[in-house]
Amino acid sequence: MSKVHVFNAGPCLLPQEVYDKAVEAIKDFAGTGVSVLSISHRTKEWDAIMDETRALWKELLHIPEDYEVIFLGGGASLEFLYVPMNFLEHKAGYLDTGVWAHKALKEAQGLGEASAVACSADKNYSYIPKGYEIPSDLDYFHITTNNTIYGTEIKEDMDCPVPLIADMSSDIMSRPVDVSKYAMIYGGAQKNVGPAGVAFCIIKKDALGKVSRYIPTMLDYRVHIDKLSMFNTPPVFSIYIMHETLKWIKSMGGVEAVHKLDVQKADALYSEIDRNPLFVGTAAKEDRSIMNVCFVMAPGYENLQDEFLAFAKAHKIIGIKGHRSVGGFRASIYNACTLEDVQALVDCMKEFETMHA
């Protein structure tokens, strides 16, 4: 495979050894002679994968004993409905920091009283709101810790007077997390912990069972906890790749070691954006994401956007075009993105500067 520097924001770059393991498992899973694409989820070999995957989550994030980890189909967008279905009895509050946070709020409003406690839409979601007060009568307060489209991130675990629920789709396993501060953490796997097709949910078990509404069986977290994520056929292949990705994170030295590398990558790229007269960052500096680096052409150079995209592509740099709703550029530097990849983009930006500045 020729070296291409991948900065895609959706399905992420995965470590090469994970790809290699996937190829082996497609041919023969765990010595069974059966492909992982065809293995029954009711076998001891698959039970072992499920058990070890849960154990890796608990080990890597130091998850307390009174929490459970489950894996569900549908991605984080379906969790936008799961969450209010299981937690909203009277009133919920949301921190509206971007497209995905707003969509989560909208789903909750379809089931009951839910509103934005604070919102950064006034400045195109370029910052994380501060100084707001969380009402003490909420059933829960929901945050989206990293905003992939706008490049902002909540980097610390907040103290919250009510149960705190977080969508960590795009920054999970990129920094240490004090799980005990949350009633629930969830997200799609396809940024840092695997391919698209499965969502992870870390849930404090005694936070459930407090709503009076009927919860459809398939949408009841308690059912999936009781059935060990196999109430119905699980997304087997996606979970297998998650398993291998978590093993890779452990081999790298765990979340703490990965975080140091992620910060190093982000610092290198933001330093070039701030130095280079052709480019300018779009997120407030104090809220810049270490996962999704968003920037645009500087004033006076806007007409060079398409030229830079073509120039980058010629240098085997792909996936840096900004989200269609905001334009510009976005380099997603998830865990498996290497410092070499980031340096290739930095070098490309410097070379482009010499042509136009």
Asked if pLDDT for residue 309 goes beyond 50, the answer is yes
Give residue 197's identity as a one-letter amino acid code: G
Count of C-beta atoms within a 10 Å radius of residue 105: 22
Dihedral sign from CA coordinates of 73, 75, 80, 84: positive
Of 191, 204, 265, 321, catalytic: 191
3-class DSSP string for 133-185:
CCCCCCCEEEEECEECCCCEECCCCCCCCCCEEEECCCCCCCCCCCHHHCCEE
Of 100, 265, 287, 321, catalytic: 100
- Residue 250: pLDDT band (50, 70, 90) is very high
Mean per-residue pLDDT, 74-86: 96
DSSP notation for 275-289: H-TTEEE-S-GGGB-
pLDDT score of 2? 53
Mean per-residue pLDDT, 13-34: 96
284 touches 152 (CB < 8 A): yes
Percent of the chain with pLDDT over 70: 99
Same topology, domains 16-251 and 253-356? Answer is: no
DSSP notation for 3-34: --EE--SSSPP--HHHHHHHHHHHH-STTSSS
* Domain 253-356: CATH superfamily, name plus number: Aspartate Aminotransferase, domain 1 (3.90.1150.10)
Spatial neighbors of 200 by CB under 8 A, at least 6 apart, are 57, 69, 70, 71, 172, 186, 187, 189, 193, 242
pLDDT digits (tens, 9 = 90+) for 215-231: 999 999 999 999 999 99
- Residue 212: pLDDT band (50, 70, 90) is very high
In the chain, where the domains are located: 16-251, 253-356
DSSP H or E run through 52: helix 44-60
Mean per-residue pLDDT, 161-180: 98
Of 157, 167, 287, 341, catalytic: 167
Give residue 205's identity as a one-letter amino acid code: K
Cα separation, 294 vs 17, whole angstroms: 29
pLDDT score of 1? 42
Dihedral sign from CA coordinates of 266, 272, 275, 277: negative
Please say if 191 is a catalytic residue. yes
Supply the DSSP symbol for 207.
G
Strands 91-96 and 113-119: parallel
Asked if pLDDT for residue 211 goes beyond 70, the answer is yes
pLDDT score of 3? 86
pLDDT digits (tens, 9 = 90+) for 25-59: 999 999 999 999 999 999 999 999 999 999 999 99
Classify domain 16-251 at the CATH topology level.
Aspartate Aminotransferase; domain 2 (3.40.640)
- Residue 323: pLDDT band (50, 70, 90) is confident
163 touches 207 (CB < 8 A): yes
Q: What value does the mean pLDDT of the chain take?
A: 96
135 touches 113 (CB < 8 A): no
Please say if 274 is a catalytic residue. no
Percent of the chain with pLDDT over 90: 96
